[in-house]
Amino acid sequence: MKKLVILLIILGVLLWGLGFFTRSLTSVPQFLQPSEKLKSEAPAELYPQEKIVIDVVKKVSPSVVTIAAESSMTQVDPFSFFGFEFEPEESSEEPQNIGSGFLVTEDGLVVTNKHVVNEPGVTYTVITNDQKKYTVRQIYRDPLNDIALIKINPADHVGTRLTPVALGDSDKLQVGQTAIAIGTPLGEFSNTVTTGVISGLGRGITAGSVYEGFIEQLDNVIQTDAAINPGNSGGPLLNSSGQVVGVNTAVSQNGQNIGFALPINTIKDSMNNFNATGQFNRPFLGVSYRMIDEELALQTALPEGAYIQTVVKDSSAEKAGVKEGDIITEIDGQKLVAGKKEISTIISQKKVGDKMKLKISTEDQEGERTLKEVEAVLQIAPEQ
């Protein structure tokens, strides 16, 4: 009897252990079970800054375009302005996306960079955000700035309404404020969005590629760390209100996240000029010159400034009495300094009809240099 009791006890213990083991296999520890609280949580709300960027992108993307090119000879190098080098290849029938732009009028006027549409023998096409293609009817290139206006016809797609952007005021930009760039980087990823801040204002850069034979000095440009890549050229740089404050133009090849944009106020001045005259009129003094820097001035006993090599007949300079061999030392009280403030730098900030006061070192009949002041009225530059 005693043995039977012991056997029953052992059997009960075994059965209890087996049941515990079975329950362990079929149950999930509490810490692994889904939280009822997590299940019922609503989607997280967007941060205010995220919502600002999203709203800007929704507002402006329909106005941003991709510019494609088809060459009859060799493939266009869309990235030469950025210092990249490519071997020429035989052209294909497929147009090649080379840059960006944005609509500024409902009747089809698009702003882009001059270097995007500056190749001869090329047919250009504008592709809108909804992938509609428009043939470029006319191109107007600004001879002074890296700006071009291209005209498309909305009638290419009947019933489609083109949406222009809103233009801001680049004179009110502040370092540190939000910057949003939209474009087609690498000619492949249309309507790509990058964000950052305004990193600097009033920068002067030399853009282009010496290997391509194209170098341009750009003054008073906007610096941003919003990623700007080859193919972004001509696209808009935007503020938090969705207004265009710049035209993305170049990227530094020697740094990370250093891009540059032309101020939109420069473009507005050019557009006003264009709308009034049907062409880009730029101011013209009518001289060619060589800068005398401090070192050369010490060597030659001449004053620092712009040594006048030639004077164009009937130009503003000739009418003001400027002669070959004169040295312009100041314009409107600003001292001319080689590489920093030259004649071209000052004229780029002027308009046709503006008056300039020139301080000139000139030779008299005895070969002695004297100072004189004259006033020149800037004329329209002749067609190039």
Which residues does residue 69 pair with via DSSP β-bridges, in sequence order? 96, 124
Which residues does residue 151 pair with via DSSP β-bridges, in sequence order? 109, 138
Which of 146, 199, 315, 326 is labelled catalytic? 146
Measure the CA–CA gap between 350 and 167, rounded to whole angstroms. Answer: 21
- 10 Å CB burial of residue 270 (0-12, 13-18, 19+) is buried
Q: Is there a contact between 233 and 186 (Cβ–Cβ < 8 Å)? A: no
Alpha helix (H) residue ranges in the chain: 2-26, 36-40, 48-60, 264-277, 294-300, 316-320, 343-347
Q: How far is CA 229 from the centre of its chain?
A: 10
Measure the CA–CA gap between 294 and 108, rounded to whole angstroms. Answer: 50
Q: Is there a contact between 174 and 224 (Cβ–Cβ < 8 Å)? A: no
Which of 80, 170, 199, 233 is labelled catalytic? 233
| Whether residue 233 lies in the annotated active site | yes
Which of 115, 170, 225, 316 is labelled catalytic? 115
Query: What is the dihedral angle through the alpha carbons of 343, 344, 350, 355, rounded to the nearest 10 degrees?
Result: 30
**Phi, psi of 237, deg, nearest 5:** -105, 125
Measure the CA–CA gap between 125 and 117, rounded to whole angstroms. Answer: 10
| Whether residue 115 lies in the annotated active site | yes
| Whether residue 146 lies in the annotated active site | yes
Q: Is there a contact between 239 and 198 (Cβ–Cβ < 8 Å)? A: no
Tokens of 25: 């296999």
Residues with catalytic function:
115, 146, 233
